[in-house]
Chains A and B, each alone.
Chain A
Amino acid sequence: ETGVTQSPTHLIKTRGQQVTLRCSSQSGHNTVSWYQQALGQGPQFIFQYYREEENGRGNFPPRFSGLQFPNYSSELNVNALELDDSALYLCASSLGQGETQYFGPGTRLLVL
């Protein structure tokens, strides 16, 4: 059974650019959540997708958007990057809403 995978592992962008991060869910999981984790902090919930629909969102501006595909893989898009967007971005998949979440290895984004 394949676990949660994310790509890329590392990324460097400049302020104002746009970025797309990708996540492949664990087999059979229909729910995916995205988190931002700044250095030394706890993860901050960005949003959750359940069966291709966004069904929960944290305190992040609209320039953070996402998609979930029919195979339950997912993308996180961030427009107009800011320096404070530099962080580890984690996705997590689960069998359903509220169920145990299995985290991917993360994408480390640096905005210069």
Chain B
Amino acid sequence: ELKVEQNPLFLSMQEGKNYTIYCNYSTTSDRLYWYRQDPGKSLESLFVLLSNGAVKQEGRLMASLDTKARLSTLHITAAVHDLSATYFCAVALASGTYKYIFGTGTRLKVLA
């Protein structure tokens, strides 16, 4: 059974600092997604990573994918308070039909 694990589960960091969220998954997949969820809100798509070595950046967030290690990272550069949210990674399993598995989520709090 496919498992998607994120760490850390909780992250409290100071504004201006850098940090990385890790997403490990247990079986082969060629699509890795990152989402952001604010409290009481729906999910917002951040990145879709489609191939080994893929790197995407938007503002202070950068995501990368290593399919051989089955690992994706979400790097936060010079954090600001507005980045406080829960971040989920998700993996797609495609074998004729599709199935999506989400990670446990990382709750990020950026302190001023």
Give A contacts to B, CB under 8 Å.
33, 35, 41-45, 48, 50, 55-58, 90, 92, 97-106
Contact = CB atoms under 8 A, between A and B. Distances in A.
B48 interface: yes
B1 to A, nearest CB: 9
A33 B92 CA distance: 12
Interface of B: 31, 33, 35, 41-45, 48, 88, 90, 92, 94, 96-105
A103 B98 contact: no
Nearest to A43: B102
B94 A33 contact: no
A98 B45 contact: no
Contact of B105 (A42, A101, A105): A42
B42 A42 contact: no
Given A43-B43, A103-B44, A105-B42, A98 B104 contact: no
Contact of B99 (A56, A92, A99): A56
Contact of A45 (B45, B88, B94, B101): B101
27 contacts: A33-B98, A33-B100, A35-B102, A42-B102, A42-B104, A43-B43, A43-B90, A43-B102, A44-B102, A45-B100, A48-B97, A48-B98, A48-B99, A48-B100, A50-B98, A56-B97, A57-B97, A57-B99, A58-B100, A90-B42, A97-B98, A98-B31, A100-B48, A103-B35, A103-B43, A103-B45, A106-B42
